[in-house]
């Protein structure tokens, strides 16, 4: 099956710093989503981005489907950005998400 | 708030017992997915229902079963519970589970944290 790899596994930042999280996938995909899992365990949708670039406030994401990777950019990080960031892909439309292992982000003030 | 609801939020039970987790999808969503998040296995797909019918199975144990009712809510039944079943169980929904549909973003409920003692 398709493999989803995220890097780095862990990231420690000072408040105000910028960061880039990467997601590589081993085969073509129909859909890609980024999630933030907060310390309470909730999975929050960040981006639905099968291709192209999207921005939402301090966060932006780019997916280059032909090269099988996606990037999540976090600018001016805040302590509330802490948590685990997951990339997940769908191989075929209407099927289940396949998750990467996540990047754990810790932002300190 | 994603619009997907799950109950209960927490469940503590003993080995050998049976529990039922409940999920209500977002209004208008026909597809429901169940996922399990454990420390050693990460987030894994269990089973999918579309408009009342089972659509796909993932790594779901035979001790586990699910169904989707006419009002589209879904229940996940876990029986003969073992210590290793302790995990966070998520339900997600999407507009449709049909192949060929271009938009199928999935939205997750808050999860049910199951602890088996």
Give the closest residue to B96 by CA, choosing from B86, B105, B85, B87: B105
Tens of pLDDT, residue by residue over A17-38, are 999 999 999 999 999 999 999 9
Per-residue confidence (pLDDT) for residue B100, from 0 to 100: 60
Segment 39-68 of chain A within 8 Å of chain B by CB: 41-45, 48
Tens of pLDDT, residue by residue over A55-90, are 999 999 999 999 999 999 999 999 999 999 999 999
B113 strand-pairing partners: B10, B88
Per-residue confidence (pLDDT) for residue B98, from 0 to 100: 58
CA distance A107 to chain B (A): 22
Of all residues in chain B, the one with the smallest CA distance to A90 is B104
What DSSP designation does A44 have?
Answer: E
CA distance B68 to chain A (A): 16
Question: Number of helices and strands (H, E) in chain B?
Answer: 0, 11
Is the CB of A90 inside 8 Å of chain B's CB atoms?
Answer: yes
Tens of pLDDT, residue by residue over B20-53, are 999 999 998 999 999 999 988 899 999 999 999 9
- Where residue A92 falls among pLDDT bands split at 50, 70, 90? confident
CA distance B42 to chain A (A): 6
């Amino acid at each position: 099956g398709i493999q989803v790899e995220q890097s780095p596994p862990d990231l420690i930042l000072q408040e105000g710093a910028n960061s880039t999280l990467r997601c590589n996938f081993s085969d073509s995909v129909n859909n890609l989503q980024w999630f933030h899992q907060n310390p309470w365990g909730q999975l929050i949708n960040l981006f639905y981005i099968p291709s192209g670039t999207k921005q939402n406030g301090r966060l932006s994401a780019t997916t280059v489907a032909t090269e099988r990777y996606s990037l999540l950019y976090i600018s001016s990080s805040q302590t509330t950005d802490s948590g685990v960031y997951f990339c997940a892909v769908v191989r075929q439309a209407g099927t289940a998400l396949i998750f990467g292992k996540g990047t754990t982000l810790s932002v300190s003030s | 708030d994603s619009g997907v609801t799950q109950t209960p939020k927490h469940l503590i039970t003993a080995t050998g017992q049976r529990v039922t987790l409940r999920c209500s999808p977002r209004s208008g969503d026909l597809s429901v997915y169940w996922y399990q998040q454990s420390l050693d296995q990460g987030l894994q797909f269990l089973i999918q229902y579309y408009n009342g019918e089972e659509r796909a199975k993932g790594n779901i144990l035979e001790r586990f079963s699910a169904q989707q009712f006419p009002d589209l809510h879904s229940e996940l039944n876990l029986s003969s519970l073992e210590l290793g079943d302790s995990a966070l169980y998520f339900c997600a929904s999407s507009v449709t589970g049909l192949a060929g549909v271009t938009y199928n973003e999935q939205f997750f409920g808050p999860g049910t944290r199951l602890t088996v003692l």
